[in-house]
Amino acid sequence: MSMHVFHDICLHVTWHTKDDHPLLTDEVEPMVHEFLRRRCIQTKGVYIHGIGGTPTHLHLALSVEPFLQISDFVGQLKGASAREINKAHGLQALQWQRGFGVVSFGRKNLPFVLDYIAK
């Protein structure tokens, strides 16, 4: 017997640079965003809708499958992106603060969340 599960899990995830230093410069930010976008696309059960932020933090709008361990996934995103950027730009070019924020939202609010992330 096959089991079918309905899910529509939309998440707004955000995290900060270490000590809120403006590390997401005009040079670094596009590389970070592209790396995170690729990593999300390559991860089973993750669907990226948008990415943005400021020099001190970033935002992701995602939909996820119910099997995804959110804290593990975000930890992997943070660690892998810092390693990648630091490898390309020198040690400590990018460091993330501990933790992250995540809130769920309804699909009908996706345009609002994307607009918020873009601004």
Q: Looking at the predicted structure, is the pLDDT value of residue 104 above 70? A: yes
pLDDT at res. 6: 82
Q: Looking at the predicted structure, is the pLDDT value of residue 2 above 60? A: no
pTM of the prediction? 0.91
Sheet holding 9-16, edge to edge: 46-54, 57-64, 9-16, 101-105
In degrees and rounded to multiples of 5, residue 64 shows phi and psi of: -135, 155
| pLDDT tens-digit readout, 13-61 | 999 999 999 999 999 999 999 999 999 999 999 999 999 999 999 999 9
Q: Looking at the predicted structure, is the pLDDT value of residue 3 above 70? A: no
pLDDT at res. 16: 97
CA distance 32 to 23: 11
The DSSP code sequence of the chain is: --------EEEEEEEEBGGG-----TTTHHHHHHHHHHHHHHSTTEEEEEEEEETTEEEEEEEE-TT--HHHHHHHHHHHHHHHHHHHH-TTS--B-S--EEEEE-GGGHHHHHHHHH-
pLDDT at res. 90: 76
In the chain, where are the structural domains located?
44-119
Q: Looking at the predicted structure, is the pLDDT value of residue 1 above 70? A: no
